[in-house]
Amino acid sequence: MRHKNFIYNNLVGIRLLYRMFPKSIILYSVLQMLHGVSWVLQVMSVQYFFDGISENGGDILPLVVKILLLGAAYAFAQTMNGVANCYGQILNRKVIKETNKVLFRTIDRKDAIAFEYAEELDRINKAVRGSEGVFWVSTTILDILFFYAFYFVVMSWYLFSLAPVLSISTVIIFIPNVITRLLHMISFEHLENEAAPVRRKMDYYGDCVIGKEYYKETRLWGCGSYFFDRYNQMLKKLNGLHFRMQLRKERVNFCIHVLTVAAYGAIIAMLVYYVLAGIISVGAFAAVFAALREFYGFMDEVISERLAIAIENMAMVKNYLAFIGEDPGEQEQIALPEKFEIRLEDVSFAYPQSGTEGEKFVLSDINLRIPWGQTVALVGENGSGKSTLCHIIAGLYSPTKGTVSYEGVQKGAGRIVRGISAVFQKFCRYSMSLGENIRISDAAGDKSADRLNRICDDVGVDPGWAGGMDGMLGREFGGTELSGGQWQRIAIARGIYRNNSLLILDEPTAAIDALEEKYLYEEFGRLSRNCTSIIVTHRLASAQIADRILVIKEGRIVQDGSHDELIAAEGEYKTMYELQRQWYQ
């Protein structure tokens, strides 16, 4: 079953490769075939030469010719080995580029929620890794067909031509190898599973001493030796497991190798018998004997290395192939009208989770209308669902139940390309130039310097931080590393740079200190005059710049009104507000 799948997926992989680079794949196969031939030529040239020695009567010249022929055969094999492998390496890079591009396109067409879903994320990660392996895994079959099989067939034919029975040596040598593989696949997984948690614990206790996360505290509390002891306990346990695992493996290997030796012995016995019986020449004996090592080596290589690695990585490639097979296709591009009303009807949302009992709703029964131009503040405790609501309004998550629509255009029909922008709590820090960091939010838009400069000016981004708009940011590529507050401002500039009618700001000032925070909020107040905006904030007082405040508690809207209205009523908002206010009395 497993092998059938393996071959099927392999063929799918080859088809994909063939569609991308038909000529290159054919060329690759031809090169591998020539490579296979070249190895057989070596064996033949050796026999030819050795026979020449036995029959030689003292004349050197024919031997010189034969030596040169032999040298040519070896040189040819070495050259083919280099050319075929080198071509494979280069082609591999080209293929990775293409498979990655297909991957990126598929990811781009997926819902952002996929990344919040542990299993789906795992699948995506596997597909990403799989993309790198498509070439090597898929070409395993090509290599086997065009190189190894070719080599073995021609060798068998050569052996057959020497003495028909000799050709069965191919089979004899093949069997123990296959048995080894099969045994390895079955019997060691559980030991590996046993070792994994021990290794994880060992690594963790090591981390408690020397990991960046724990270093200073473990030092200051003086508890390093405590973790050290635990580390060593685990290390000892792991070592024991490891050795036991190896011992079992080698026990199997040992038996297999006895078989191999027997097979080897049988072949040699046959050879000797034929030589003694005068059926094959002593030159052929020496040549075949010399070639046996290669013969066996290739067999080992194809089964223990190529096939084993391919089977191991097949899961990843399979994932990749399945993943790109799910490509939802070109999405309809929706550009929202310049002014739109947002409407949420009976919206509930639960993060997709598997295996846990029941769905846990982060948001329940949200009904909300946000008319064009309103500034709305979302307040509430951590974990109350504010950020999730933002993601739903931004169109990143589709509600589990209910509908979201923008001026009647319902989310779900396609990708919204224009009209919505946001600054998220966990904004990105791109290792690009300062200008690119901001312009990325509207990558296809106009690139006028004026607009960029004006926005930077508005939110307090100083191009001098990076030595100009083209200065690189982030340590990754040797750029300037900025402070948290500076990055935050760039994120805000990025959010604003995008052509938008709806701006969502999710705790946009978390990394900015009090003095500048006030300035930024005033700026937000000014900016939100030309668009609808939604601001998540902890600082209740800053919610006052909003026309309307929504208090979220445990996934529901518990209060809805202007600051004055809410402060006049007894309720969550007033309690929270008073609590904060008393600090500043």
Partner 1 sequence: MKSRKKTKYNLFVFLQDMIKMIPFHTGYLLLVAVINAFLPTVQALAIAEFVNRVEGAYGGALGVHMVLVPLILLLGIVVFKQMIPSVSNLVNASAQNRLKTVLRNRFMKKQAALQYRYIEDSQSCALIYRVCGEVEGRFWAGYQTVCNGIELVVKCVVLMSIVMQASVLSGAAILLVSVPLFSLAYRTGRQNYVLQKDAVEVKRRYQYLSAILSDRDHAKERTLFGYSGQITKEYDRLSDYANQKEAAIEKKRYANMKSGSLTMVMLAVIIMLLLLPALSSGKLSNGLYVGLVTSILNLVQGMSWNLSGIMQGVADFNAYLKDVNVFWAMEEKEDAAAEPLKIPGFRVESIEFRKVSFRYPGREEYVLRDCSFVLRGNKCYAVVGRNGAGKSTLTKLLTGLYEEYQGQILINGKDLREYRYGELKWMFSVVFQDFARYALSFRDNILVGNVKEDKEQLLEQVMEKMELGACVQELPWGLDSKLGKLEKDGVDLSGGQWQKLAIARLLYSEAPINILDEPTAALDPKGEAKVYEMFWQVTMEGERSKEEGISKGEGISKEEAHSMEKFTILITHRLGAARMADEILVLDQGKIVEQGTHKALIGLENGLYKEMFDSQRCWYET
- Which residues between 58 and 77 bind partner 1 (CB under 8 A)? 58-60, 63-64, 67-68, 70-71, 74-75
Question: Residue 359 belongs to what H/E stretch?
Answer: none
**How far, in Å, CA of 138 to CA of 583, rounded?**
66
Strands annotated E in 275-374: 333-335, 342-350, 361-370
149 contacts partner 1 (rule: CB under 8 A)? no
Residues 420 to 449: which contact partner 1 by CB under 8 A?
Answer: 420-422, 424, 426-428, 430-431, 440-444
Pick between residue 141 and residue 256 the one whose CB is nearest to partner 1. Answer: 256
Residues 553 to 572: which contact partner 1 by CB under 8 A?
Answer: 567
111-130 mask for partner 1 (x: CB under 8 A)? xx-xx-----x--x---x--
User: For partner 1, which stretch binds (CB under 8 A), given 165-173, 350-358, 476-484, 524-532?
Assistant: 476-484
Q: Which residues contact 551 (CB under 8 A, 6 or more apart)?
A: 379, 380, 557, 558, 559, 560, 566, 571, 572, 573
Residues 357 to 396: which contact partner 1 by CB under 8 A?
Answer: 381-383, 391, 394-396
DSSP for 234-270, written as a single string: HHHHHHHHHHHHHHHHHHHHHHHHHHHHHHHHHHHHH
Pick between residue 141 and residue 291 the one whose CB is nearest to partner 1. Answer: 291
User: For partner 1, which stretch binds (CB under 8 A), given 143-151, 284-292, 459-467, 552-560?
Assistant: 284-292
Pick between residue 333 and residue 367 the one whose CB is nearest to partner 1. Answer: 333
Q: Which residues contact 461 (CB under 8 A, 6 or more apart)?
A: 434, 438, 455, 486, 489, 490, 493
User: For partner 1, which stretch binds (CB under 8 A), given 80-88, 139-147, 350-358, 456-464?
Assistant: 80-88
Pick between residue 120 and residue 365 the one whose CB is nearest to partner 1. Answer: 120
CB of 449 to partner 1, least distance (A): 18
Contact 87, 327 (CB under 8 A): no
Backbone angles phi, psi at 419, to 5 degrees: 120, -25
305 token code pair: 């290395």
Pick between residue 401 and residue 518 the one whose CB is nearest to partner 1. Answer: 518
Q: Which residues contact 571 (CB under 8 A, 6 or more apart)?
A: 551, 558, 559
Among 236, 339, 360, 526, binds partner 1 (CB under 8 A): 236
Residue type, 551: V
CB of 1 to partner 1, least distance (A): 31
**How far, in Å, CA of 187 to CA of 86, rounded?**
36
Strand partners, 559: 551
Tally Cβ neighbours within 10 Å of residue 153. 14
81 contacts partner 1 (rule: CB under 8 A)? yes
Pick between residue 197 and residue 468 the one whose CB is nearest to partner 1. Answer: 197
**How far, in Å, CA of 369 to CA of 82, rounded?**
68
Pick between residue 485 and residue 571 the one whose CB is nearest to partner 1. Answer: 485
Pick between residue 145 and residue 266 the one whose CB is nearest to partner 1. Answer: 266
581 contacts partner 1 (rule: CB under 8 A)? yes
Pick between residue 71 and residue 467 the one whose CB is nearest to partner 1. Answer: 71
450 contacts partner 1 (rule: CB under 8 A)? no
243-262 mask for partner 1 (x: CB under 8 A)? x--xx-xx--xx--x--xx-
Instruction: List Cα–Cα distances, 259 to 167, 176, 210, 349, in angstroms.
Output: 19, 6, 48, 62
Q: Which residues contact 402 (CB under 8 A, 6 or more apart)?
A: 344, 345, 346, 347, 348, 365, 366
CB of 192 to partner 1, least distance (A): 14
Residues 195 to 214: which contact partner 1 by CB under 8 A?
Answer: 197, 200-201, 204, 206, 208-210, 212-214
**How far, in Å, CA of 60 to CA of 68, rounded?**
13
CB of 373 to partner 1, least distance (A): 21
User: For partner 1, which stretch binds (CB under 8 A), given 167-175, 282-290, 314-322, 370-378?
Assistant: 282-290
Residue 342 burial (CB < 10 Å; 0-12/13-18/19+)? buried
CB of 384 to partner 1, least distance (A): 9
Among 157, 192, 265, 413, binds partner 1 (CB under 8 A): 265
**How far, in Å, CA of 427 to CA of 491, rounded?**
6
Q: Which residues contact 261 (CB under 8 A, 6 or more apart)?
A: none
Contact 333, 495 (CB under 8 A): no
CB of 536 to partner 1, least distance (A): 11
For residue 351, which of 383, 319, 382, 394 has the smallest C-alpha distance?
383
290 contacts partner 1 (rule: CB under 8 A)? yes
526 contacts partner 1 (rule: CB under 8 A)? no
8 contacts partner 1 (rule: CB under 8 A)? no
CB of 205 to partner 1, least distance (A): 9
